[in-house]
Chains A and B, each alone.
Chain A
Amino acid sequence: MNTDSHRPAARPDKKPPQRFYRTLGPALLALAACQIAAPAQAAGTNQFFFFPAAAYAWRSEDPAGAARKREGEIDLDLFYTADRGNLRFLAEVFGKTDGESEIEIERLQLSWKLDGDSRLWLGRFHNPIGFWNTDYHHGAFLQTSISRPGIVEFEDDGGVVPTHLTGALIEGFTVRRSAVWRYDLALGAGPELRSDLRPLEIHEPGEGSHDVALTARLSWQPGDSRNSVGAFAGYYKIPGADPTPTDVRQQLAGLTADWQFGARTTMRATAYVVDNELSTSGVATRDSFRNGNLQLEQALGAQWIAYGRIEGSRGADGDAYLNLLGGFVRERQLIGLRYDLAKNQAVKAEISKVHLSGERFDQINLQWSAVYP
């Protein structure tokens, strides 16, 4: 759900409409494959979810760098997973319409269960850079808030770090002394830099130029609590394409915490350091910025959750890398309210103050989201 995104309105190399149709075929094939595998559902070895959402955004200004002042969007995220012995298949197709239609194969993964509680995945997956990008991606119903922090915004919505990789991923957990240690190690192809980051589309493997991407994450969950803290680091070689080819070597590192205070209060925080080495026509530049976000959630009874989030950046103004990309949210303060209509439906409202590059505006977001079955 990206009514929250602030991507530039005029993009010289915006995805052409035919891209929608080129993605539609493979997406339908992926769904057909899910249907072929449907007999497994009777045996309880597969799972299908769909996550519909409808959202509306209103902005106080119509800044040149932002999307439209008023914006509605309808999303549908289809998710399927199946197990066959030690093999596991996972597919996710995301479609949206906000005046234009877009459909994307979000994830297409196949894994083999290694010893114990770990798996080796091959395919296109979510880059494990903090829980926002893996636990809360599409599937709007699952996350408490409507918006996600600007630092982990999707590549085609003004994101500045890779949120999708294609390659190999080892993930798992181990229990040591009553604590759970989770680990992820990803090696694959990262995005290409145009006027935004372009991840490798799994149905168009030869399109664009993609180079090595490496991410590692480790998190610790003590005892029988919901709490966890973690650290992650990534290295990405991002080849540049038109209009001015700029190759980027990006290194990022971060800390993350998801902590519960009592039965009703939850804190989620992430801090990032992002270092970029840019090379344009043989001229090298190096720049770095820091970014952090802190979200507090307070349950008010069984159905209401009030929440607030602050996001901030240091070194973002004038950053050579961020100047290549439009729409990065440097700062934001928001408050919101979530009401669970039923076990599978929620409505949310958010009011936020947003600071893009040199532009500030207020924003109101409304959203209905659900999960079926």
Chain B
Amino acid sequence: MRRLGYVALLLAGLLVLSAGHALSGERRLVLVGSPELRSLNLNAAEIRQLFLGYAVTKDNHDVTAAINKSDALLYEVFLQKVIFMSSQTYERQLVAKVFRYGGQLPPSFARPEELTAALNSRPGLVTFMWEDNMRQLPGVTVVNELWHGSIE
């Protein structure tokens, strides 16, 4: 009976901790892609190149990025914590890159199901999303952590 009490206490403690965690708004922004990209250890410079519209070749993978616009807050955090630009400046940079080197603008998705379909059908395609949203998606894995912290 005493053992059961300890377990109950431990569970209650975990519940309180996880509730506190959720209340503080702590979230993880992750780079996701197909499972073959799981071991692809992209560094910050490579991730930045990807989201500025360049293709990056690493470990025999041609990696390209898609812009996830399915969640306004997610996009804003991505701009502030990963790209360090306002949306206007960022979108101007993307056009400037195509103007300079040719190629295409990164594909942009406003609907999660279209984004998931693209990640499953285009080899080497990566994007960013909240880790807790990613867990619900089939055939998608975390490639890198981009940022974690509280959202005020």
B-side contacts of A46, CB under 8 Å: 104
B: residues with CB less than 8 A from A are 43-49, 54-57, 82, 84-89, 91-92, 95-96, 98-105, 107
Check B102 against A88 for contact (C-beta < 8 Å). yes
> Are the C-beta atoms of A178 and B107 separated by less than 8 Å?
no
Chain A positions within 8 Å of B91 at CB level: 343
Interface magnitude class on chain A? 35 or more
A111 lies within 8 A of B99 (CB): no
A175 lies within 8 A of B103 (CB): no
With A83-B104, A117-B57, A142-B96 already in contact, the answer to whether A299 and B86 are too (CB < 8 A) is yes
Asked if B86 contacts A45 (CB within 8 A), the reply is no
Assess whether B85 is in contact with A226, with CB atoms less than 8 Å apart.
yes
B98 touches A134 (CB 8 A): no
Residue of chain B at shortest CB distance from A264 = B86
Q: What's the nearest-Cβ distance from chain A to residue B29, in Å?
A: 14
Contacts of B102 in A (CB 8 A): 47, 81, 83, 88-90, 109, 111
A142 in contact with B45 (CB, 8 Å): no
A178 contacts B85, C-beta separation under 8 Å: no
Q: Which residues of A contact B46 (CB under 8 A)?
A: 175
A117 to B105 alpha-carbon distance, docked (Å): 17
Find out whether the CB atom of A173 lies under 8 angstroms from the CB atom of B54.
yes
- Cα separation A173 to B46 with both chains bound (whole Å): 11
Contacts of A343 in B (CB 8 A): 87-88, 91
* Contact, CB under 8 Å: A221 / B100: no
**Is A79 interfacial (CB 8 A cutoff)?**
yes
Instruction: Tell whether A9 is near chain B: CB-to-CB under 8 Å.
Output: no
Q: Which residues of B contact A260 (CB under 8 A)?
A: 84
Q: Are A47 and B100 in contact (CB under 8 A)?
A: no
Return chain A residues, CB-CB under 8 Å to B107.
44
CB contacts (< 8 Å) of A134 on chain B: these are: 100
Further 5 A-B residue pairs, CB within 8 A, beyond A49-B98, A302-B86, A302-B87: A49-B95, A135-B100, A223-B45, A224-B44, A343-B88
Contact of B99 among A117, A139, A171, A303 (CB under 8 A): A139
B48 to chain A, nearest CB (A): 5
Tell me, yes or no, whether A340 is within 8 Å of chain B by CB.
Answer: yes
B87: chain A residues at CB < 8 Å are 302, 343
Partner pick for B101 among A139, A171, A263, CB 8 A cutoff: A171
Tell me, in angstroms, the Cα distance from A91 to B32 when the chains sit together: 34
